[in-house]
Structure 1
């Protein structure tokens, strides 16, 4: 899950991530500098994230999560993931663009490797640029409306409404909506 994208995260996402990072860092008994050394994220950026003053990319949150021996969903979701059958949770808007596009994390599994369930909407002409996820990570996509174009390492995958696709996301990739109408799709990240 990264400078993964351009866009804005919701205030709830920023606050939750900052709070979770600080709590887990303190539980480890680490200073901000120790977490910086382990994650490759600058001390200044970590401090701003913990204070809720920075809008971290999804890749940055992933790097911090892995340094804390955790994962993106554990840091991003505001409470423990309901495990009982029939339980539900509110979607967490994690990314949005000036054009109105958005990505919402719906839920995630508890066991490793994790699987995350996302809902995406891309406005006509909008793009989401991604950095590579952890080695071995894959994504599954099901398009509900419009057409999703995914580029990976020079290859192009077009997934139309009613179709599904799969990519390795441990490489640079991008989502594009080159069509005249909104693209809406479900994304499942496996191995995050």
Structure 2
């Protein structure tokens, strides 16, 4: 099932509060459905009990990788925790603002498929900004397609720079980062598979 969504979002200076509140509530609900304590989820996800409590209360701004680890421990995926209700039915939405930085950078989760698992993202990186990602599961990949500006992918094998209209596939089971070393924002699409 493919979820079709579109977006244009203006972001502020902090993490998206709706996203933080949504994932916190869903994590708490799934944890309770399993009959787990916060400590049991902490052990299964390798996320601290304190951090999980703050996430559940909507008081923490967890990294994308932290949310992914918790989702896996609960036998679900990042998109199931992050996307608003209704997206599972293929309803068009504006996407979900998942990450933002004070300089205007933002990551918007546009939609996801269940089988095979894939996520579609639209990213904007302001000039001089960087996003450091944590490695995904072994075999995970990302496809990047630059719409505007120049994106530098900092990979273990060295940097790779893409301009408008260029695409690249990378293994995301490594340390990597997205960088904008230019004076204009970079806007790119990101497809994640196998994460």
Q: Say yes or no: TM over 0.5.
A: yes
Does the 8 Å CA contact 1:124/1:182 hold for their aligned counterparts?
yes
Give the 3-state SS of the residue equivalent to 1:16 in structure 2.
helix
Q: Select the residue among 75, 80, 102 that pairs with 1:74.
A: 80
Cross-structure match for 2:136: 133
Partner of 2:31: 25
Q: Size of the alignment, in residue pairs?
A: 183
Q: Look up the match of 1:99.
A: 103
Runs of 4+ deviating beyond 2 Å: 80-84
Contact 1:8 1:55 (8 Å CA) reproduced: no
1:156 to 155, 159, 181: 159
Please, what TM-score do these two structures have when normalized by structure 1? 0.91
Contact 2:155–2:177 (CA under 8 A) maintained in structure 1 = yes
The structural deviation recorded for 1:9 is: 2.4
- Report the equivalent of 1:64: 70
Counterpart-to-counterpart distance in 1, 2:62 and 2:181:
27
Mapped partners of 1:82, 1:71: distance in 2: 13
Q: CA deviation at 1:80?
A: 4.4
Classify the secondary structure of the residue corresponding to 1:118.
strand
The secondary structure found in structure 2 opposite 1:74 is: helix
Superposition deviation, residue 97 in structure 1: 1.0
Runs of at least 5 residues in structure 2 that lack an aligned partner in the other structure: 1-12
Q: TM-score, normalised by structure 2?
A: 0.90
Say if 2:177 is the partner of 1:174.
yes
Q: Distance in 2 between matches of 1:134 and 1:81?
A: 25
1:81: how far off? 2.6
CA distance in 2, matches of 1:8, 1:76: 17
For the residues of structure 2 that align with 1:169 and 1:163, how far apart are their CA atoms? 18
Q: Give the conservation status (yes or no) of the 8 Å contact 2:15–2:98.
A: yes
Q: Distance in 2 between the 1:35 and 1:58 partners?
A: 17
- Alpha-carbon separation, structure 1, partners of 2:190 and 2:142: 7
Counting only pairs closer than 5 Å after superposition, residues 5-44 of structure 1 correspond to structure 2 as 8-44=14-50
Runs of at least 5 residues in structure 1 that lack an aligned partner in the other structure: 1-6
2:51 to 27, 40, 45: 45
Contact 1:77–1:92 (Cα < 8 Å) also in 2: yes
